[in-house]
Amino acid sequence: MAGLYFEQFFVGQSFDHPWTRTITEMDNVMYCALTMNVAPIHLDEHYCAGTEFGRRMVASLYTAGLMIGQSINDTTLGTTVANLGMSDMRFPKPVFHGDTIRSRTTVRSVRDSKSRPDAGLVEFEHVAINQHGDIVASCLRTALMHRKPVQGG
C-alpha cells in the first residue's frame, strides 16, 4: 500500500509530491467535454482574445482534480475509506495550456472518528504551484482514513 494509515499522519506533516503535469489543450478540452462545461473562457480562442487573459484558461476544477490527484500516491492510495468534503477552494492565479503543475500537501488536523472505531479523519491542505512558483489552486480536504490493520488477529 502506497498510502498512509490514520495513525501515520500528524499535524504539520508535509508532502512535496514528486509528480508534475504539463497541462495540454487536449486535457482542458476533454475535461470540458466530459463535464459538459461549455464556458467560452475554456474553449473559444476568439472569445478569449477579448478578455483580460487574452487566451483560453484551463477549467478550475480540472486544476483542483489534478492537485488532489498528485497527492494520492503519497497520502491516501489504498488507505482511504472516502472523501468527506472539500472546502476553501481557491484559484488565485489562472492556469493556461502549457503550464506545469506540482502539488504540496500539509496535514492540518487528525482526529478519531466518533462513529467508526476502525477509522479516523484527516484534514489535508492541498496547494498547486505552477512552473513560475505561483500558487494556482488550494483547498482543504477531509478524508476518512483506515486505521492500520491489527497484525496476527
User: Does any domain span residue 138?
Assistant: yes
Q: What are residue 138's DSSP bridge partners?
A: 90, 127
CATH number at 67 reads 3.10.129.10
pLDDT in tens, 87-103: 999 999 999 999 999 99
User: Does any domain span residue 27?
Assistant: no
pLDDT in tens, 37-70: 999 999 999 999 999 999 999 999 999 999 999 9
**Cβ-based neighbours of 83, under 8 Å, separated by 6 or more:** 141, 142, 143, 144
The pTM for the full model equals 0.93
List b or e across 83-113, with b for residues whose CB sees 16 or more CB atoms inside 10 angstroms: eeeeeeeebeebbbbebebbbbbebeebeeb
User: Does any domain span residue 112?
Assistant: yes
User: Does any domain span residue 104?
Assistant: yes
- C-alpha count within 13 angstroms, C-beta hemisphere, residue 33: 6
The region, left, alpha or beta by phi > 0 then psi within -120 to 50, assigned to residue 129 is beta
User: Does any domain span residue 28?
Assistant: no
Please give the Cα distance from 23 to 1 (Å, whole number): 28
User: Does any domain span residue 52?
Assistant: no
95 is in which domain, residue-wise?
A: 9-22+60-146
When divided into structural domains, the chain yields a total of 1
pLDDT in tens, 64-77: 999 999 999 999 99
User: Does any domain span residue 90?
Assistant: yes
Q: What are residue 119's DSSP bridge partners?
A: 146
Q: Which three cell numbers stand for residue 31?
A: 475535461
User: Does any domain span residue 140?
Assistant: yes
